[in-house]
Structure formats: structure tokens, C-alpha cells
Amino acid sequence: MLMGMASKAQAASNAAYTWRNVVTGGGGGFIPGIVFNTKEKDLIYARTDIGGAYRWDAATSSWIPLSDSTGWVDWNKNGVDALATDPVEPNRVYMATGTYTNDWDTNGQIMRSTNKGDTWQVTPLPFKVGGNMPGRSMGERLVIDPNKNNILFYGARSGNGLWKSTDYGATWTKVSNFPNPGTYVQDPTNSYGNDIVGLAWITFDPRTGTAGSATQTLYVGVADKENNVFRSTDGGASWTAIPGQPVGYLPHHGELSSNGDLYISYSNGVGPYDGTKGDVWKFNTGTGVWTNISPVPSSSSDNYYGYGGLAVDARNPNTVMVATMNSWWPDAILFRSKDGGATWTRIWDWDGYPSRKLRYTHDISGAPWLTLGIEPIPPTPSPKLGWMIGDLEIDPFNSDRMMYGTGATLYGTNNLTAWDTGGTVKLSVMAKGIEETAIMELLSPPSGAPLLSAMGDISGFRHDDLTTPPSKTMSVPQWSTTYGIDYAELNPGFTVRVGMADYSSDSNARSVGLSHDGGANWYKASSEPTGTKGGGTVAVAADGNSIVWSTSDVGVYYSKSGGNGWTASAGIPTGAKIASDRVNPNKFYAYSAGRFYVSTNGGATFTLTAAAGLPSSGAASLKAVPGREGDVWFAGGNDNPGPYGLWHSTDSGATFTKLANVQEADGVGFGKAAPGQSYMALYVIAKIDNVRGFFRSDDAGASWVRVNDDQHQYARVTTIAGDPRVYGRVYVGTNGRGIVYGDPAGGGGGPVNQSTISPTSASFDKKTANQADILVTMTLNGNTLSSITQGSTTLVAGTDYIVSGSTVTISKLYLANQPVGTTNLTFNFSAGTSPVLAVTVVDTTSAGSGSLKVQMYNGSTAATLNTINPRLKLVNTGTTPIALSNVKIRYYYTIDGEKGQSFFCDWSQVGGSNVTGTFVKMTTPKPDTDYYLEIGFTSGAGSLAAGQGIDIQVRFAKSDWSNYTQTGDYSFAPTGTAYSDWTKTTGYISGSLQWGLEP
């Protein structure tokens, strides 16, 4: 069936927006290079492999991004293979940019700035640059003559040799007589690694020139295992290999000290992932003598890493530091010498295996997630000092400041010299402002956290606060990249994500994770499709009772048992893009190679629709509109051969209409409707009226406004999502600049000042003697309080609550009538968001009183479900430890049809295998309970210290996976989404009731 074409509406206008990063605080990607200016204090640059460059802001101790103006077409400028800051005119800075040297990328460029990177001019190069290629932490390849700063040299990849500029980088000429453009290829059999790495670094000897006259002596390191260090003594007119140089390894960095010693770090791989042997050498440029000064020489079996980052203290030329390139176990090692490499000390030493003696403390409060969800198992710490430490630098103005890049962040210290006096070096995260993650998918659910992210390399986060680093990654189950994530629109707490687990290290690993609390806690599914390696995309039914997973390898599968069993979907190709209808829980959609499919039975079977004209290749973003059954948008295609654009269906994909006013589109998302509008705001990554950008439509695509500008383009972005709770707010996932979000600036239909309340959580005891009003302080910011609601019920002003100025008093009489559990009170203001006060209601009238406390919430609050998911926290309120083997917890429920039952413990600090579950049938059943689950502990669980608590994440199901109806069950908490005291779940020590009310 042919599709219609919507007539073109008005041209897109521009809306003023303010753009910020969603804060992770730790970077989240590889930092291959850090460059200090030698003339201006605190002028520091960091380069990344896919996220552009940054400049240090000393006033805020954070980094300022310099590459956000990079557009869609010239995306490869975000790969920075080399950077140089001018030692004569510090306002000048240069970058060699280009991301890949593979045949599908375009040529690179030298970018130059005269205002420290605020704006750039570009000189195209006749070859490619590899900012994300092997050897990218070698360097620096781009250097400025310290005596005559109009002269620059650049060492190219791919056999293109050495290049020179004499006009501040505006034009370049090949140095035709440079003898060795490099021979080393990382992996000849791999299309990514089969290119010549080329020149690795260039170093001037500033002593061989005077101000205004060209420096005469230069050293060049080449990725070659035979002839790899060359010298010129005539300003680059002629070159010779230095006699006696070491062979067999590749030179990563060459640093010349002020007293004339050239230090070189070597590895047998170019990095950043490889390297298993290496050495450190010193070349005395005056005598011509080479000396192996390796902290651990390559001849030793203790050397299994090679060397990467290398620094010489400009203020103390005999002080040298070097880092292991990849000491994966137990941790990286930093070495320091005060005597030119004659002797070394390590930042940690063995102290009787598995103990280690540390010369450092490690503060990750700026990005607490850097543990990556991994518990320390001596001798391996968590977090680690790092890996892929390809660059390490000491501040030329301050011997106490050192920074080094890792595969996940940038660490540093401001008291480095404490190392030399037996003190403790204080390492901390110094990556504030750097946001380098690659985003796979973004979700902004209607409740819970404002944002969930699926990311490359570090899995992703639940972002409870956009301006505060998350405390942890999504780490149970554990994998590096989350490829797909979705939530149940009508039960947003239920969330599913898919990745690629490491089955080689854990045969019971799973590539699918589930959460019943909006991503706060996760557990792995009990099973997965046979033979899959994971990946792909996932879609969750509107009510959460069905999951459809399009794996990366074995096809499309569905589960109606919460991931406990999977069945192949029929009628749908492998690799199809999938999405769920956000209203009808039985309906799913799929796209593959220009064809559109629909399922009306929860993903069991798909049927090809008559829709035609969709693109057969290229980008594909498929999403359904919340609150509107059958309303589907598709963005995708490419311009070769086409078609390319944005399509809309209102009949569940039976037909689509292509929007004529959108030339190209690569992503689509939805946010809160504009005031006076009933249709959600539509957001697209698109080309409209010949302009690439991010656009919003408040009228279902009839008209558009561009919400970004040319200074905020972020290269080739990957995904877009509106906020369903804040009109005008849009989240954009980038490929190397993390997550950015935009809000209307000073108007444009979006709120500027948000009202807040304090506190946002409180507790209330229904026991008469303990009842008390709750006082709430409002910060109005120019708004007014319109109402307070609890679900669909509006509280009565003057009776249920009283307003006095900026204080609201919630009446204890109102609260006493609320059920035990969590009562969410929404404060609705005249503009902006509606903050929620979560009141935990308990009743201690006749509760057990002892040394235990049980807190709980239900992972899923759906009325009917096949798996009940209590989330429990056991707290020792006494003064002495409690042996957990003496503790029992009971959860009361109705079985709703007699069947065998199975118990699962997904996670606990004491180990899931140490948690037991027994099903007990009540002798005298009651309307709200005929069974209870008794949770216990083995002796292996140990004891619970006074004042401490443990989490116990459990679930149980019937043998045939038939449904329970949990509404009305005695222990069921219908509204809770976080741990709170719960007296309807009882706790016992040696059979004695310590907590709660038995039914």
C-alpha cells in the first residue's frame, strides 16, 4: 500500500535553549592525552578519542568542552589524535582531528585557534587522522617550536610521514626526506587494526635555539620495532636514526628533561588495549649513551604490561614517573624516580599476598560509580587506579600536581611530592566537566527518576538528579555496554535492559537484566534464549507482562514469565527493530529492511503490514506515543539511496505518512505537551529547511522549531527523548559527549524557575501517641501552590492541609486515615514541575518490639503478575551482632490457585546462595493470606553487626508461571517504591517475634 505525503507547513524557526550536560562526574571514556602549557600557569588541555577536547578552568576545577560546535557532517573532528598548546603565545592551540583511518571515514584536518579553543579555523589534510585508532595515546604527534612558534611539526599515520608548517598551521608541507614513516601494523587481519600507526611523538630540544630563531634539534619516535627514534640537528632539514637505540619495542612517549636526558617509554603494543612487555630507556643527548632504566625490565617475569604514560618534572629534571600501560591484574602501577631512573618506588607494593601496602588514598566521591559495581576481592581493589594509562603529566609550574588518563576517567593529585617523604598521595577524580560516554538509548519515564541511560563501556545509569553524579552504574547483571532498554508505560517501575555478558568468566551470566523499581536495583533474568550472545534491542509491554527481545544473533524472542522462559517469535526477521505500544499491552511493532510488522498477542507472532515506502537501510528509530494506541513514529533511512526522513502512522503501522517538511531524520522522541495542547511534544534529530539540528514540534509535526544552535551541535548524536514531566526539556544522547539536555531559555513555552519542597520524604506512625503533623517548606521561585493531590484525589485545603506563607502543614488527621505503606503527595504549582512528598505510613500499635527491623517495598505493584518481588532490608536495631542463621522473615500472601512454587534470591550482600526460602501453608487461612514465604539464612551468611543492614532481593513464582493477584495480600505494599518500615512483614530471632504484626 502506498503511503501518503503530508504537505509542507511553515519553515522551521529557532527557539532559544540553554544546554547542559547530564552530570556523571567521571568522564566515562578514554583520556589519551593531557597537555600543560609551559608558559601560562593552569592552562591545561585534555584530548579524547571520540569526544573532542577540553580546557581546564582553574576557578571551578573543572573542564570546559571545546568541540561542541562540531556538526553532523564533520563529526570526525571529535576524534583528537594530537594537541599542541603554544609555549610562546599561550592563546594559540592546535589539534589534529579525524577519528578513523579506515576507508569509510573522510580525511582529517589541523584545527587552530587564537583564543584557547573558543573558536577554530580549519586546514584540511590530504590524508586521514586516527583519533580513535590504535596508538592514540602515543604522543604528542603535533608540536610547536618553543623558540619560533610559527613553526609546527606533525607526525602522520598511514605511512604519510612527517609534515611541517611555517605559518602557524595554516598550510602544511611534507618533510620528504624523513626516513621512516613507520611500519608497524597492529593486526593485519583486522580491518580496524590493519593500518600503519606511523609517527608516535615529536620532541624539541629548546636549548638548541633562541627566541625568534628555529630550534635546531628535534627527536621523533616512530611506531617501528627496529628503527624508531630519529634526530635532526638542523631544524628538520636532515634526519638520522640515533645509534645504539633499543629495538624490539615501540616508543610511546619521548620526554626531554631540561638537563638533556631523553626518556622514552616502550611497549610491545601500541595500545590502548594491548601491551604485555616493555622497557623504559634514557638517552643522554650529550654523551650518546643509552641506559635501560626500567622499573621492572622486560626480561623479568614480573613485567607483563609494558609502559605507557611518562612524565619528567620540569622543575626537578631527575624526577621521572612512568605508568604501566595495561597492568590488568591486580591493578595499574605508577613508578617514581628521584635520581633519573637509577632507583624507583611504586605507588603500591606487595605486603604478603594478597595484601598490598599503598602509598595513596583514592577518592572517587566526584564519581562514586567508578567502582563499576565490582566488589574488591584482594588483591584486586575497586575502584582501580586505572587501565590504559597511556598518558601521565606533571604540572610544569607545580611539582605537586599530577594528572593521568585512564580508560574510564582522569585521576590526579595535588600533593604528589608527599610520595618522596613517606607520606600518602591523595588521588582523586579530576574529570569534572568531561562527559565522554557514548549513548545507546535514553528513557524519560513518567515517574521515578527523570532519566535512564544505556551507555557504551560503562553500562548506564539511573539519573535521579541531572546535576549530581550517580552513585552506581547498572551493574547487576554485569556487562560493559547496554544496547537496549525499555520500561512498561503503565507500570514504569518495571524496566528491562539487554547487553552482552561475559560468558567466558561466568557460565551463569545473563545478557538481560530486570528492575522493579525504575532502575534503582537490578537482577538478572533466570534464563535467556539458547545460544544468544545478547545485545540487540528490547521492548516491554505496556503493563510489563510481556518482554520482546530482538537479540543480535539468534532472532526475536518473547517472554511472558518475567524472563524465566523465552519462546521464538514467529513471522519476524532476525535483527528487527522493535517497540511496544504504550497503551495496548498485547501490541508490539517491528521494522526490518523497509518492512513493518505488528503483533497483537504479546510478541508471540508478528504479521507483515501493507505499509510501503519505508527506507530499506540506514538509521531506524521506531517509537510509539504514550497514551495513544496505534500512534507510531519512524525516523530513519539515508541519502544513498534513500528514502530518508520522518514517517507517522495512526493505525498501528498499517499505513504511514511521510512528513514533507522533514528532509532527513535519525531519531524521534516525545515529551510533555505544550500548554493548551493535547498531543505530546515531538522531538527529532533531523535536517529541516537544509539545517541539521534538534527540533521540536508542538502540533504533531505540522511545524517545527530548532532548539539547538550552531555552537551546540555535538557531532553525530545517537538518540533523543523528551521529558514527559517538563514541557520543553529534551535529552540528547551523543557519541562521545555524554548526555546533553536542553531547556527553553527565558521563555519558549518552558518554565524557567522551578518550585521545590523540603523535605521530599517523611514518615508517619498511625499509633495514636506517635501521630504528628508533617511540616513542608516550599521554595516558590515566583510560582504559587495550586493544589496537593494523592493519586486522583485532591486534598482539601484548610482541612487536609494548611498553607501559611511558604509552609504547608499536612494534617495528622488526614494522614491517620491513609493505609500503611507509602502515600505520595504531589504539590502542583502554577508553573514548572510538581515535586512529590513521599510519606511512609507505619502502625506500631501492636508491633513486635525487639532488635530487628524489616523494611520493604514490592518490586512490582501490578495487580496481577506471575512473579511476586519483595524487596527487603533487614536492620539490626540492637547493640550486639545477630547471627543471621537464627533470623527468619515472613511475607504473607494468597496463592490464588494451589501450585508448586519456586524461590529465587537475586541479590544480597551476604550472597544469594546463603539466603533460603520456604513456603508455608497457613493452618487457618484468612482473606488476605493463606501462605507465607519464610526467608532464612545459612551459616555462611555470617552475622549482622549492630546498627547495620542488609538488602535481600527475592522473588517467587508458581511452577506453571500462572498469575498471582497480589492486591489485598497482607504483606503487599501497593505504593512504596523505596525501602520503608513495613510492619506487615514480620521478623524473628530464634522463633521470637522481633518486628511487625502477624495477620
Which residue, chain included where needed, has cell 638517552? Answer: 283
One-letter amino acid at 763 equals S
The answer to whether 456 and 450 are in contact (CB under 8 A) is: no
CA end-to-end distance (rounded Å), the chain: 61
Known catalytic membership, residue 689: no
Which amino acid, one-letter code, is at 945? A
Q: Give the count of alpha carbons within 13 A of 675, CB side only.
A: 8
Distance of alpha carbon 196 from alpha carbon 642, whole angstroms: 35
User: CA 482: distance to chain centroid?
Assistant: 9
The span from the CA of 770 to the CA of 809, in Å, is 17
Distances (CA, A) of 479 to 232, 476, 513, 535: 49, 8, 10, 11
Runs of H (alpha helix) within 428-529: none
Q: Count other Cβ atoms within 10 Å, centred on residue 800.
A: 19
Q: Residue 383 is placed in which grid cell?
A: 575502584
What is d(CA 951, CA 954) in angstroms, rounded to the nearest whole number?
10
Q: Report the distance separating Cα 602 and Cα 624, nearest Å.
A: 15
How many residues are listed for the chain in this entry? 999
φ/ψ of 56, rounded to 5, equals -70, 135
List Cβ neighbours of 862 (8 Å cut-off, separation of 6 or more).
491, 494, 543, 544, 545, 966
Spatial CA neighbour of 124 closest among 75, 77, 71: 77
- Cα–Cα dist 509/496, whole Å: 16
Angle at CA 940, nearest 5°, toward 939 and 944?
80
Catalytic annotation, pick one of 42, 74, 457, 928: 457
Neighbours of 211 (CB within 10 A): 10
- If DSSP codes are grouped into helix, strand and coil, which group holds residue 611? coil
- The amino acid sitting at 300 is S
Closest CA to 565 of 544, 590, 547: 547
Q: Could you tell me which residues come within 8 angstroms of residue 94 by beta carbon, excluding any fewer than 6 positions away?
A: 83, 84, 86, 110, 111, 112, 113, 142, 144, 152, 169
Q: In this structure, what are the phi and psi dihedrals at residue 49, rounded to the nearest 5 degrees?
A: -85, -25
In angstroms, the CA 935 to CA 954 distance is 9
Q: Is 206 helix (H, G, I), strand (E, B) or coil?
A: helix
Cβ(253)–Cβ(139) below 8 Å: yes
The one-character DSSP state at 535 is -
**Residue entry with cell 587506579:** 385
Distance in angstroms (rounded) separating the CA atoms of residues 54 and 117: 9
Q: In whole angstroms, give the CA distance from residue 11 to residue 725.
A: 28
Chain-centroid distance of CA 860 in Å reads 26
d(CA 520, CA 475): 10
Residue 49 among the catalytic residues: yes
**What is the rounded CA–CA span in Å between residue 614 and residue 550?**
20
Q: What is the 3-state secondary structure (H, E, C) of 242-263?
A: CCCCCCCCEEEEEEECCCCEEE
The C-alpha atoms of residue 980 and residue 992 are separated, in whole angstroms, by 22
- Cα separation, 471 vs 904, in Å, equals 26
Identity of the amino acid at 760: T
Provide the annotated active-site residues: 49, 457
